[in-house]
Structures are given as C-alpha cells and as structure tokens.
Structure 1
Amino acid sequence: MTKYVPAPDELEKIEPADFETVLRTLGWSQSGGIPGLARQWVKLDDESEPSVVIPVRKDIRDYRRRISEAISVIYSAQGKSAEDIVIQFLLPGSDEITNSKDEETIAGSILWESGEKQMLGLKEMLVAAAKSTESRESHFRNRRWKAASRYMSQVRMGQTRVGSYVVTALSPVGALPIDGRSGVYESNFGPTGRDVVNTLFSALSAVPESSDQFIRHSNAGVFLEAVQDGVSLELVRGIKDNLGSSASVETSVSWSPKSDDRFALDRVDFEPKHVMPLEVASVYLSRQEKSSTVTVVGRVVKLESADPEEEGIVTLQILEGSEAPHIRVHLGAEYRKAVEIHGRSLLMVARGKQERPGRDYTLTEVTEVRFFDSRGNSESLTDSLIEEGYEDASDPRGD
C-alpha cells in the first residue's frame, strides 16, 4: 500500500483535538499519558496494536515528529482506509460524499462519456442541494445561484479510488463564506456545509420513495410533495445524468465526527427502474410555477393605487433576498407608509410569497413589512414614524 505522508507544513495544520476525535470514532480510547504534554491512545479490542501518543499542544518542539509517528501507527492499524483517515486530519470538518457506478470496466477504466456524465451529474446534485437548502422550490432556473456558488467554492474533490468510476466530494461541515466578503465566515449567516449535505440526502432518499408511489398510483403529484424534502427539477436531472445507462449508482456519505446534526440515512441507490419515474418528474416539475417564501430588501421605485389611503402595489428595486431585479409587492394598510418613504432614500423589508405569473415578479401573502435607513437603523425610523402619526409602524399589520 502506498502511504500518503503529509508534508511538514501540513503536519503543522493537524490539530490534536481533531486527531483525537477521529481516533475515538475508530474505536480507540485514551489510556494514560504525560499530563500537559501528551495523551496515549490504545485500541481496546486489539491489544496487539501499538499505542498512539498525541501531543496536547502544537508548540511542543517535536510536534511534527510525534504526529508523523502517530500517522504511521494509523497506517499499520487501519489498512486500506488509512489514507482517507489521514486526509480527514488535514481537512477537519469535511463530510466525504462518495458516488460509485456499477458499470463494466476494462483494466479499471470506463467510457469517457460515462465518467464525465457521472461527475457532472454529481455536481448538479450538489448545486441543487445548496439551492434547496436556502429555499425549497420545484424549479430554480437561474435563481439561487449565489447560494450554489458559495457552497461549491468550498467543496474539494477527493482522490480517485481504484476503478476510476468512484468520485468523491469533500464537503465542509461549518459555515460558508459570506457573499462579497472573501474569506469571511459567519456561522449565524445562512446555511452551513452540513446543512447542504443533509438536504442532499433528504432529497435523494425522497426520490426512490416518490418513484415507487408513482409506479403504484400513477400520480405525478408525489414529486411536487417531495419538494419540501429538497427535491427539485435540477436534482432530478443530476440523478438522471449520474445514473446514465449503468446498472446502478450509489451515493453515500462518511459523516465527519466534527458535527452530530446529520441526516438519518447515509446511502441511497438508483437503478434503471427509476429512469421512467425520473423522466416523469422532470416534465412535471418543469411545468410548476415558481412560488417560494422570501424576505427581500429593496428601494421603493414605483407606486400603484387608486386611493393612497387604501391598499396598493409598490415596486421594489431589489438589493438583497432575490435574484429578481424588481418585485411588485401587494400591500394593505402598509401602503400609506410606503407612500411616505417613497423618495426619501429609505429601504423596505418585505416577506411573502414570491411568484412569477407573467413577466413580472410579485410578492403576495405579505406577512412582514419593515422600513429602515441605509445604516440599518430601523428603531430610530420607527420612532420618527410614530411621531408623524404612524403608531403601528413596528407592526405594519396593525394587530
């Protein structure tokens, strides 16, 4: 077996806590050591295995050598899986998604077109999962590309396995970078990498179940119901491309021990029997009109109402929350406040159902409307509106 030996600078990146977390998941237990310097780990189910000594601090002089020695023990104890384990040390907090095809090979090779479709299909599935994590929709078209781009920029391709028909993707567990702020991560902002992988397996597991229901009852509506699980037209297309003409394809995940909030399943299989239901799902989902709940931030650029004291429609120039450049928002009693802020360089936040019945995007069933200035100072703005007679400015519905 060829050993992958990390370079000296890579050894420096390995955190003692990450090393010990992985050892624990492999069945090793702590047994003694030197307080403040190192901890010894042993495999209780096999006393013939040597122990592993892990420094507790990275500033110890021989840290690199000790970590290198520990990796050598891992190779001795874990056999073929050792290389994957070592990579996990260097990429802490990564879920490894494995996609393998049951296909005839010659000297471990497959047809170029088949391999290419497999890789593109897996990418389509990952992109669709990233979009569905942000918003459950039946058909994204060109929407939610920012969410997909943010996620895919952090995914790494794992090493090719023996057979060349196994593709791996290393997906980060933690926070994804914030748009427009290179290298800046915020755990409270948007979905994490683990959220995306959970969505992927939620959606993948829903497709075979929906396919079986369709075969039994010939009701394509089951695919629309599966949208709540993360299924979308883009995901279905990815599965179809990934399967191709193969006898079967398996997508599985090796969950990182860095996070416990993982989806219940870790393996989903597709076979030729799923091809016909997937074709039906593609057609059915492509016909669905886009409708999703969004929260948008924009500037009022147009007003439409027969009576400013009654309900009306405002057009927002969208700054955040939707790929649509403009959205027409249907307002009730809040309309008079929108009239007040029009032309004052103030911003409006609105939450509701985004739809596109024709050429224009609209926001209906509005459940929230707020106003604030360019510095995000909504509290002082609310006070000013109250002074001007809009006592219900903090609750635009007035209830």
Structure 2
Amino acid sequence: MNELAIDPASLAGYLASRGWRNEGTWRGAEVWQGADTRLLIPPQREYPDDDELLAEAVAKLAVLEDRPAEEILLDIAEPLVDTVDVRTQPDTPSGTIPLLSGVKAVDSICELLDTAARTVEEGPRLIFTGRRSGVVQDFLGSVRLGTSKPGSYIFTARVPVASRDVQASLFEEDDTDPFGRQVLVTMDKALRAAQTACTQVIRGTASFDIIEEYVDQGVSADLCEAVSGLAGHGVDRPFSIAVGWARGLDSPSGEAIEFSATMAGVLSQAAKQLRDLARVGTATITGVIEDLHYDDVEPPRIKIRGELQTSSSESLARAIWVVLSRRQYESIAPLHYQRATVRVRGRLTTTGRRLEMRPDRTGVEIIS
C-alpha cells in the first residue's frame, strides 16, 4: 500500500459518507466511531507515526468492508466517482470466469452505460438507432474498469460524475446533476423497472410486451440485450448490479439489483421479439381492444391484445397499439366496452417509445 497516497481530509470525508461519526480527539488524532470499531485519524501529516495510523485505518476498512485496500484508496482519492459493481456467478472457481462470458460481460457493461447515456441525451426510446453522439462517446471514454473483486467474478466500472472542467462548479447552487450522475441514476431506475417487468412475466401475469410499458422509465430493447449479456455466454447464470454513489454529491439509496437466469432469458427474448417485429413490415393482429388513447397531442389509437401473425414468424400472443384516424377511432372505441373481437392488418413501425401498427385500406374488421 502507498501510505503517501492517503490524504487525512479525504479519508475523513470517506468515513463520514459511510456513516462513521467523529467523536472528538485523542492525543491529537480524530476519533471516528463505526458500528463496532474506532479509528484514529490524524487531521494532517505532522508526526512520524501519522502515516502509520492512516495505513492502519485503511487496512481495517479493507477488512470491515471485505474489499481490497487498493480499491478503498481509490474511493478515498476520488470523491466524485460513482461505481458500478456487476457480480457475475459463472460456474467456475471464485475469481475466474470463462473467456467468452468475460468478453460478453465487458461488452454488455459498455452497452448498458451507452444505452443509459443515450436515454439521458435523446430521451426514452423503445429501440435506439444511429450512431452515438460525441457527448456519449466522450462519456464512455471517461469510464474505467477496475480490478476484479473477491466473490464469484465482479466487474467494477468507475464512472466520473463529471468532467474535470465542470467539477469546480458542482457545489454551486444548481439543481441539475452532472451528466455522469444522470447516466447512472437513469440506469439504476431502468434496471429496477426491467426487474419488475421480468417478475410479472415469470409469474404469468404479463407477456413479453410488458417491457414496452416501462419505456418511460428507461427500459429499451438495447437495455434488455445489454442486461441479458451479463448472464454468461449461455445466458444461464444469475448476476447482480450495484451502484456505489460518489460521496461528493447527494446520493440516491437502494440495494443491489438481483437478476436470475430466468429473468435474463426473459429480457433476451423480449429484446429479440421487439427487434424482429420492428423489421417485419406487414402483420395482422386479432383480439380484443384492451385500451384506448385519445388526446390533442397525438393521433388516436387503440391497444389490441390477441394473436399477432406475421409472414416471417409464428403467431405471437401480445398487444399492439393501432393508430387510427379520428373517424375510425370514434366508430371503433365503443367495441372496447363490448369486448368484441377485431382484426387489423397493417404495417408495424417503431416510433420513439412504441411499437405501432397503421392499418391498411381494410381498416378494422369486426369478427364478433
């Protein structure tokens, strides 16, 4: 350990951010009280044994937090860096991972951060298209991978809260979080929404299209693909994702987000289905009207749940929003309350946050 790298003030800030209490001084050193441990921290380097006290404090923290001392030193030295810990559980000895699964995990972490950054910049999207912007590219270029941690195989991404040229103004009155923090808040929210959606599918209370109900919370086909990639090369291993928030800013709270192998499979299939349907073109949906939408902002539409038939795949049980003219909507909307079966043939398109169908000339056919 490099004792000279330990700054007493930064170490004190680290302890305060993790719930330690300053309970005064003893022989010139500050006394910091944790749950069951006390640490002596010199307020500055003044005496020959100050470096020894600092090194001893970091060594004790490493034991208490079950983390390498080098990693704690990084967190002490970088108060404006958030971390993302991805704990994979490969079927290999702790501290190892199959090569193909490791490569896939790193790619998936990059795609996860890329998708969250694009969501911040472009707004929520069902499917992202086109190249990433210079802002997103620069953000990804600032992220660093740390060393693996004990416990299965843990990847750590260190995400700067903001670039150095704006860090000086972070503590001025400004209600807007810097870009790096916005990305991780968005990612955390989207991951929790994806976990909730998966739970509904697994319990049998929803089908794969439930993913589309969480687009406004940051869920997209891109995010689903990225998350499922963390389940190993065979998409068959559980994993968890935890965000460690930088102590230099007020931080959200929340436990690690756990994903089972089954959840990863749901996300993988949901993403594939969305991408396939976005390319399919013409399709037919037969079912009942599940929901209605009519306002002064967008064209009116109805949501039909039933059997979706395309020319390139087997029929799928799911729901599709069908965009109508105002006249069509006014004549069709009452069928929602009658639970009538209808059939619509048209072209599937992805428009920002939804997968939609626009009817062909035949319009909406009433079956029963």
Is contact 1:172–1:193 with CA below 8 Å preserved after alignment?
yes
Q: Choose from 9, 16, 19 the match for 1:24.
A: 16
Is contact 1:232–1:285 with CA below 8 Å preserved after alignment?
no
Q: Which residue of 2 aligns with 1:222?
A: 210
TM-score, reference length from structure 1 = 0.58
Compute the displacement of 1:169 (Å). Answer: 0.7
CA change 1:227–1:68 in 2 (3 A) is: farther
Aligned-partner residue type, residue 146 of structure 2: G
Higher relative contact order (CA 8 A, sep 6+): 2
Aligned-CA RMSD value = 3.3
Aligned-partner residue type, residue 147 of structure 1: V
Q: Are 1:273 and 2:270 counterparts? A: no
Q: Which residue of 2 aligns with 1:348?
A: none
Q: Which residue of 2 aligns with 1:373?
A: none
CA change 1:159–1:233 in 2 (3 A) is: same
Q: Which residue of 2 aligns with 1:87?
A: 74
TM-score, reference length from structure 2 = 0.63
* 1:79-104 deviation per Cα after TM superposition (whole angstroms, max 9, x unaligned): 24344322212222222211111222
Matches within 5 A, 1:1-399: 4-5=1-2, 8=4, 10-11=5-6, 14=7, 16-26=8-18, 27-32=20-25, 40-43=30-33, 45-46=35-36, 49-55=38-44, 62=46, 66=50, 69-76=53-60, 78-79=62-63, 80-81=66-67, 82-106=69-93, 108-134=95-121, 135-162=123-150, 165-173=153-161, 175-176=162-163, 191-215=178-202, 216-244=204-232, 245=234, 246-262=236-252, 264-286=253-275, 287=277
Compute the displacement of 1:146 (Å). Answer: 2.6
**Residues in 2 aligned to 1:107 and 1:29: alpha-carbon distance in whole angstroms:** 37
CA change 1:251–1:77 in 2 (3 A) is: closer
Aligned length: 268
Q: Which runs of 5+ in 1 are unaligned?
A: 178-182, 290-354, 357-399
SS in structure 2 at match of 1:96: strand
Is contact 1:150–1:176 with CA below 8 Å preserved after alignment?
no
* 1:196-237 deviation per Cα after TM superposition (whole angstroms, max 9, x unaligned): 111111111111211233443444442122111111222111
Is contact 2:111–2:226 with CA below 8 Å preserved after alignment?
yes
**Residues in 2 aligned to 1:51 and 1:236: alpha-carbon distance in whole angstroms:** 47
Q: Which runs of 5+ in 2 are unaligned?
A: 280-350, 353-368
**Residues in 1 aligned to 2:265 and 2:34: alpha-carbon distance in whole angstroms:** 50
**Residues in 2 aligned to 1:143 and 1:281: alpha-carbon distance in whole angstroms:** 23
**Residues in 2 aligned to 1:165 and 1:231: alpha-carbon distance in whole angstroms:** 26
